[in-house]
Every structure is written in C-alpha cells, then in structure tokens.
Amino acid sequence: MKRATIDSWNNDKAVKDNIVESWLCIDCGVNTAPGVPDGPQTRLDFALNGQSEFRHDRNTEVYSVKNALWEQAGMRPWNGCLCIGCLERRIGRQLRPKDFARHDEKVWARMPCTERLLNRRGFATVTVQTADGPHEVICNLEDAPRLNGAFVDRSADAGRSAH
C-alpha cells in the first residue's frame, strides 16, 4: 500500500465513519451532492436523531471510480470530491462505463444524477409514451435513439432497460 494511502486511512476522519467531509468539488467548488448534508452535519444528525436526511436529484454527481483512476487524477481515498468535469480534466479524457467501480453500479448508479454522469455510465434519460401519458425512463445509451418518443406498453414492462 502506498504511503499516502496509509496516511489517508490513518488520518482522514471520513475513512473512519464513511462520511464525506464535504461534497464540494475541490477544483471548481461546485456542490456534487446539493441535497446531502456535509460530514459535520451528518454526524450531528446521527448523534441527535440516529439518521440523516438526504436526497439525490438531477444536480447530483455522486459516483465511485476505480482506485487506479482516482489515483491517476492525483486523489487519494477520502480526500475530497471532484465533479465529473474536473475529474475528466485531471485524467485528460472523458470517462467511460468501465472506469466506474463495482460499488458505483451497486449503490450510486441507481440514484438520480446529472445527465453528464448518466452518460458516462452508459445510460441516457428518454421520454417514452405510455397509455398514461409521457414518462421519463433511463435506458442504455445505445437504445436511447430507438426508445425516445416511442410507445411503451408498461403493463408488459416492455423496453425496461431502465434502472
């Protein structure tokens, strides 16, 4: 294990309780999780109420990439957040679905996020027509042109590549 990773593990408060100190991108300052309290508030919420309220929406960019990529960006575990744009600037290319950690697929990929993050994960939001009217669904990026605007029979769960 690299010395910086060991130091991070031993010294960073977030490592000890898995609570991020701040959701602000350390490069540009954008809030990557506007509906989520920061670390100090979350700890206070847990101490007083045993829980902390949060919400994810279309402005959220919470994700987990593979450790090697995070390191390539000059980051170490738990030392801050980067928005997708700043992470891509640091690594010199656009993210691809295979860049995301398995944890991302199991936890974060199922929560609302920016269209940019959705795209990097290989998904898109499209509007489909149903008997009940238009509905937004998430589908694989390659299926988006075919599904956007199409009629979908929801009773048969047709076209359900959404997550």
Same domain, 51 and 77: yes
Give residue-wise pLDDT tens across range 67-101: 999 999 999 887 899 999 999 999 999 999 999 99
* Residues 40, 83 within the same domain: yes
Q: Is the dihedral of CA 50, 37, 41, 84 positive or negative?
A: positive
Per-residue pLDDT band at 20 (split at 50, 70, 90)? confident
Q: Is there a single domain that holds both residue 65 and residue 101?
A: yes
7 and 72 both lie in a single domain: yes
Query: Do 75 and 151 belong to one domain?
Result: no
**pTM tops 0.75, yes or no:** yes
Range of the domain at 84: 3-114
Cβ proximity of 83 and 28 under 8 Å? yes
